[in-house]
Amino acid sequence: ATPSIGIHDLALATSHHSLDLESLADHHGIDPAKFTVGIGQHVMSVLAADEDIVTMAADATARIIARNGTDGIRTLLFATESGIDQSKSAGVYVHSLVGLPPTVRVVELKQACYSATAALQFAVGLIARDPSQKVLVVASDVARYDLGSSGESTQGAAAAAMLVQANPALLAVENPAGVYTEDVMDFWRPNYRSTALVDGKGSIKAYLNAIGGAWQDYADQGGEPFESFASICYHQPFTKMATKAHRHLAVLNGQNPTPVEVAAYLEDTMRYNRLIGNSYTASVYVALASLLDHADDLTGARVGLASYGSGSVAEFFGGVVQPGYRDHLRREEHTAMIDTRVPLDHTAYEVLHKTTLPEDGREYRTTAERAGSFRFVGLNEHRRLYERG
């Protein structure tokens, strides 16, 4: 019989700094409840000058390798929408920083916040062909919007690294997957910009429409009933969005849950994201880590994953939580990582936000803030320089 295939280990990483959204609200003269209640965010992760998507990804991946070794790993799929190079995959820098052998193929995937889910499905396919192989799926992103824009409070940064293999310890991925693609301009970042452009209200509508389409395709293909999901991890650009999406799917399935019921159903999936902010490709897997780390025993339970990437592509699929999964979690590690971030005051946050790399590739050194861990050191002759602490 074909073995089950899915997520064997899941490690998160986030930034060195954080910004309390109350200080952002104060600065803009906005009622903080708009952020904490209205969008459901309390704190956001902010990268130090010597961090980027590579250093976060290396952090998360190194911890996966420290626990599992590199045996059987033949592929690293890097998912991001805040890429650092138009040609070279950020995953190749990670491959080198964490010391993977040359016999690992590396490639980067892009479709806004969705591509880590494509990577996970591609990994499952590779392992179905050869169950002795393992695949690293690494999602890493920094969400940046212009200062003073309505998106500013939904910034954040994180990486999620997953080891995908046969007979996984955490979650066995089920068939079918429901998918939905539609060409919409709800959120995008042209090559010449470091911050995204977004049609805020339009993006919420596009998300709901696409997630509904993915659910419909899932159902049409003989997916499991909506009631059979113990919980659903939604892409969380801000946690309130997950509650909107869940209500939307519930109504499509003939239910009419109250806001309190929806919030209770999703609570464990939202604990990390409301303290980290949007992490684009990583967000739905941050939600999965949050659920597994916090929920009462989920052994044997079916969990839904609802992934959305603007532009747009959505996917819905289920997974079954594996016996003994609690021995493989990283709750203390994740909690410490979030709790030990260094808070910024609003002035320091603005200075960091305005710091950009020279566009002519000239010699440049970042300020050293992350002693002892992976660092983005600067530029030399258009080359990005990293070091391993």
Q: State the residues that interact with ligand CAA by CB under 6 A.
A: 31, 33-34, 37-39, 113, 150-151, 153-154, 186-187, 198, 200-201, 203-204, 207, 235, 237-238, 241, 278, 280, 308, 310
CB of 149 to ligand CAA, least distance (A): 7
Q: What single letter denotes the amino acid at residue 239?
A: T
CB of 379 to ligand CAA, least distance (A): 28
When the beta carbons of 69 and 200 are compared against ligand CAA, the nearer one is 200
Decide: 185 and 205 in contact? Cβ < 8 Å: no
How many Cα atoms occupy the beta-carbon half-sphere of 25 within 13 Å?
Answer: 17
Catalytic-role residue among 8, 17, 95, 235: 235
Which residue's beta carbon is nearest to the bound ligand CAA?
38
CB of 222 to ligand CAA, least distance (A): 28
When the beta carbons of 198 and 320 are compared against ligand CAA, the nearer one is 198
CB of 158 to ligand CAA, least distance (A): 12
Per 3-state DSSP, what percentage of the chain is helix, strand, and coil (rounded to 5)?
A: 40, 30, 35
When the beta carbons of 194 and 367 are compared against ligand CAA, the nearer one is 194
Distances (CA, A) of 373 to 57, 194, 320, 387: 12, 25, 34, 8
Query: Which residues fall within 8 angstroms of residue 121, CB to CB, at 6 or more apart?
Result: 173, 177, 315, 317
Instruction: Tell me how many degrees the CA angle 298-158-133 measures, rounded to the nearest 5.
Output: 65
Q: Say whether 233 is catalytic.
A: no
CB of 114 to ligand CAA, least distance (A): 9
When the beta carbons of 38 and 72 are compared against ligand CAA, the nearer one is 38
Instruction: Return the residue matching tokens 């059987």.
Output: 72
Closest CA to 57 of 171, 142, 156: 142
Q: Say whether 294 is catalytic.
A: no
How many Cα atoms occupy the beta-carbon half-sphere of 101 within 13 Å?
Answer: 7
Alpha-carbon gap, residue 238 to 246, rounded angstroms: 13
Alpha-carbon gap, residue 352 to 332, rounded angstroms: 29
Decide: 349 and 148 in contact? Cβ < 8 Å: no
Tell how strand 171-181 and strand 313-321 pair up.
antiparallel
Q: Say whether 113 is catalytic.
A: yes
CB of 154 to ligand CAA, least distance (A): 4
Closest CA to 284 of 212, 234, 230, 232: 234
Is the peptide bond prior to 176 cis by the omega test (within 30 degrees of 0)? yes
When the beta carbons of 186 and 268 are compared against ligand CAA, the nearer one is 186
Task: Order the strands of the 364-365 sheet from edge to edge.
Answer: 364-365, 375-380, 383-387
When the beta carbons of 57 and 113 are compared against ligand CAA, the nearer one is 113
When the beta carbons of 38 and 257 are compared against ligand CAA, the nearer one is 38
Alpha-carbon gap, residue 75 to 292, rounded angstroms: 25
CB of 179 to ligand CAA, least distance (A): 16
CB of 79 to ligand CAA, least distance (A): 13
Catalytic-role residue among 113, 174, 246, 315: 113
When the beta carbons of 280 and 316 are compared against ligand CAA, the nearer one is 280
Catalytic-role residue among 81, 108, 174, 315: 81
Alpha helices by DSSP H, the chain: 21-28, 33, 53-68, 90-97, 115-129, 200-220, 239-252, 259-270, 273-276, 283-294, 331-339, 346-354
Give catalytic residues, as residue numbers: 81, 113, 235
